[in-house]
Amino acid sequence: MYLSNPEQRQDAQRWFEDLRDRICAAFETIEDDHAGPGAERPPGRFVRTPWNRDGGGGGVMALMRDGRVFEKVGVNVSTVMGEFSDTFRHQVPGAADDPSFWASGISLVAHPRSPRVPTVHMNTRHIATTRSWFGGGADLTPMQDDAAAVAMFHKAFQECCDRHDPEFHHRFRDWCDRYFYLPHRGEPRGAGGIFYDTLERDFARDLSFSRDVGQTFLDIYPAIVRRRMDEPWSDEERQHQLVRRGRYVEFNLIHDRGTLFGLRTGGNIEAILMSLPPLAAWPGPE
């Protein structure tokens, strides 16, 4: 247990912003390089929209729409502070007696146009109450079987975790599998990845791990995208992708704690729901 100081918090916030800038640049380079289906479109670009939060802080939404490779990507960085509500403070570590909090983080969801390129989610955050900790993770959602992409993703995060603690990968991969699960469908949301929370060893080590998670994402996901982005796809593959995206919507609106927390506490609605796919289908029973 530790409590981060203002300088440390600024270091965390700067890292989230720096990671955002490098991810956006990497995704725009993919857009520039693309020569496959969709290359007749202009390369996608991120548009950044700042917003302020009532009560303290705010963030920047970075949104790419209608790119060549990416149909929609949202990258949010927000840094917010203030006091938790009376009902919520009892659910947050270290906030029961003092509702003050400070939180900064990055979250990303990418929805590629091609059904052969997996959807991905990545998030890391630093939160401080009377205690402070890091949390986050990354998980891959292929829209069709793609054992090679899944293996690449898990290997990258296994190596990332192993650089920090031999227990991490096992624990955080299991945690991810339990979290990204649709009980009403009896099926996982995707192929998993890692998920961690309340990591509170010491600030430097926890930031170092969280930086490595972000860097690992930046190393592996673009490689997975480039692998199959030039391949054409069929109408049937597209339709199946839209149905799988419907499952993504179901998870985010019914089960995702971050989404529900944001919706119920009056967060920025467009930032919260930026993760939803550009188009999704519910054709009925298969």
Q: Does 282 bind a copy of itself (CB under 8 A)?
A: yes
* Amino acid found at 126: H
Site string for a copy of itself, 31-50 (x = CB under 8 A): ------------------x-
Element (H, E) at 196: strand 192-199
Q: Does 254 bind a copy of itself (CB under 8 A)?
A: yes
**Which stretch, 3-11, 61-69, 89-97, 222-230, contacts a copy of itself (CB under 8 A)?**
61-69
Q: Determine the Cα–Cα distance for residues 229 and 70; give it in Å rounded to an integer.
A: 10
According to CB under 8 A, which one of 185, 206, 230, 232 is a site residue for a copy of itself? 185
Is 240 a catalytic site residue? no
Q: Does 115 bind a copy of itself (CB under 8 A)?
A: no
- Which of 91, 14, 35, 8 has its CA nearest to residue 230? 35
* Amino acid found at 142: P
Q: Determine the Cα–Cα distance for residues 105 and 13; give it in Å rounded to an integer.
A: 7
Strand order across the beta sheet in which 46-52 lies: 46-52, 57-65, 70-83, 100-112, 119-128, 132-141, 192-199
Which of the 8 DSSP states describes residue 43? P
Q: Are 40 and 48 in contact (CB under 8 A)?
A: no
According to CB under 8 A, which one of 6, 184, 232, 236 is a site residue for a copy of itself? 184
Q: Does 281 bind a copy of itself (CB under 8 A)?
A: yes
* Amino acid found at 178: R
Q: Nearer Cβ to a copy of itself, position 92 or 281?
A: 281
- Which of 187, 158, 184, 204 has its CA nearest to residue 254? 184
**Which stretch, 31-39, 77-85, 128-136, 248-256, contacts a copy of itself (CB under 8 A)?**
248-256
Partners of residue 125 on adjacent β-strands: 105, 135
Smallest gap from residue 245 Cβ to a copy of itself (A) = 10
Catalytic residue among 34, 121, 154, 169: 121
Smallest gap from residue 22 Cβ to a copy of itself (A) = 22
Looking at the annotation, which residues are catalytic? 121
Which residues of this chain interact with a copy of itself, rule CB under 8 A? 49, 61, 63, 65, 72, 74, 184-185, 242, 246, 249-250, 253-254, 260, 263-264, 269-270, 273-274, 276-285
